[in-house]
């Protein structure tokens, strides 16, 4: 097992990912903005006082932070990347923009580091189970070297060169976002039309409309469970980033534009810290129905890294 390994960001997703890696035998120095979350991992994980301290002379660094600007700040401005051992693997598993990944990859290469962008999908259940879908961009030989670190966290698919992992995650996110919007509309139509949403979901799960979103997030909507697995504000970050890529390619993606607007309104109404399944609440608000975002006392709560 490669070591020592710096793990930066042990929040909702990073915490269980780090724990699985430690259980696989990795020697880990973890850092998190809220140190108690790093301390809670246990499993023999050492807690560092700063990103640079965690990265000092490490053979690999895994990053699971909230967004691209935060990754850049921690890695470049705060010196974590510069503290790594020469030739270290820098594995950014955060959901960042495509161009952000390409730019950071070039900077990492200029510093003598080996870059992999490896964002994930599957949410907190898959993070805990070690069954995440990991979409990796980078050199094939670097992916081979990183395999002992990545496989304890999930299933790896090498997409292509640096930046293609980040692009694939954005493609994943627009698929998730648009499906959440459709499921939310379906649940709203069922409840307002007099059909039992639980029975509607059960029927749909046996047919061509079945999906993981309908299964998991449809159930969340029915139960009104919007504790964040994937906070809505992060979903908005990703739809915005996907729109930026589409614009740079001269593409018109009208469904993406519509869904981005829905999540923008959900966040603006105070739902940024709720799970992205809370898009149902935004649809209720638009239709003048009770139980919108404003009806939830915790609607403005935020999920921290």
Listed residue (205, 273, 12) closest to 120, CA to CA:
12
Listed residue (201, 263, 203) closest to 230, CA to CA:
263
Beta carbons of 99 and 121 less than 8 angstroms apart = no
User: Which residues make Cβ contacts (< 8 Å) with residue 8, sequence separation at least 6?
Assistant: 30, 31, 32, 51, 54, 55, 61, 62, 63, 64, 65, 74, 80
User: 62 forms bridges with which residues in the sheet?
Assistant: 7, 91
User: Which residues make Cβ contacts (< 8 Å) with residue 112, sequence separation at least 6?
Assistant: 86, 87
**Residues making up the chain, counted from first to last:** 305
Burial classification of residue 249, based on how many CB atoms lie within 10 Å of its CB (0-12 exposed, 13-18 middle, 19 or more buried): exposed
Question: In b/e form, how buried is each residue of 199-238, taking b as 16+ CB within 10 angstroms?
Answer: ebbeebeeeeeebebbeebbebbbeeebebbbbbbbbbbb
Gap between the Cα atoms of 118 and 258, Å rounded:
28
Q: Helix, strand, coil % (nearest 5) of the chain?
A: 55, 15, 35
Helices 254-266 + 164-193 axis angle, to 10 = 70
Listed residue (113, 56, 53, 57) closest to 85, CA to CA:
57
* 73 given a catalytic annotation: no
Catalytic residue from among 169, 199, 237, 247: 169
Residues with active-site annotation:
169
């Amino acid at each position: 097992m490669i070591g020592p390994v710096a793990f930066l960001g042990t929040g909702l997703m990073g915490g269980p990912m780090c724990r699985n890696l430690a259980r696989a035998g990795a020697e880990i120095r973890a850092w998190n903005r809220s140190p108690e979350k790093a301390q809670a991992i246990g499993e023999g994980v050492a807690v560092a006082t700063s990103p640079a301290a965690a990265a000092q002379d490490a053979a690999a660094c895994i990053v699971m932070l909230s967004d691209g600007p935060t990754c850049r700040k921690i890695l470049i401005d705060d010196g974590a990347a510069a503290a790594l051992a020469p030739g270290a693997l820098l594995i950014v598993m955060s959901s960042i923009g495509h161009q952000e990944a390409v730019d950071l990859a070039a900077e990492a290469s200029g510093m003598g580091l080996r870059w992999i962008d490896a964002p994930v999908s599957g949410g907190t259940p898959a993070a805990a189970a070690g069954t995440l879908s990991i979409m990796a961009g980078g050199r094939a030989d670097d992916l081979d070297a990183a395999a002992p670190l990545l496989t304890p966290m999930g299933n790896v698919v090498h997409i292509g060169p640096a930046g293609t992992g980040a692009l694939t995650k954005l493609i994943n996110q627009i698929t998730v976002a648009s499906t959440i919007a459709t499921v939310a509309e379906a649940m709203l139509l069922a409840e307002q039309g007099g059909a039992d949403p639980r029975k509607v979901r059960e029927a749909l799960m046996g047919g061509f409309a079945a999906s993981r979103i309908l299964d998991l997030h449809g159930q969340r909507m029915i139960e009104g469970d919007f504790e964040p697995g994937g906070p809505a504000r992060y979903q908005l970050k990703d739809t915005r980033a996907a729109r930026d890529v589409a614009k740079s390619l001269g593409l018109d993606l009208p469904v993406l534009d519509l869904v981005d607007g829905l999540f923008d309104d959900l966040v603006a109404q105070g739902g940024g810290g709720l799970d992205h399944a809370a898009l149902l609440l935004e649809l209720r608000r638009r239709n003048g129905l009770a139980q919108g975002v404003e009806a939830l006392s915790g609607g403005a709560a935020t999920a921290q890294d």
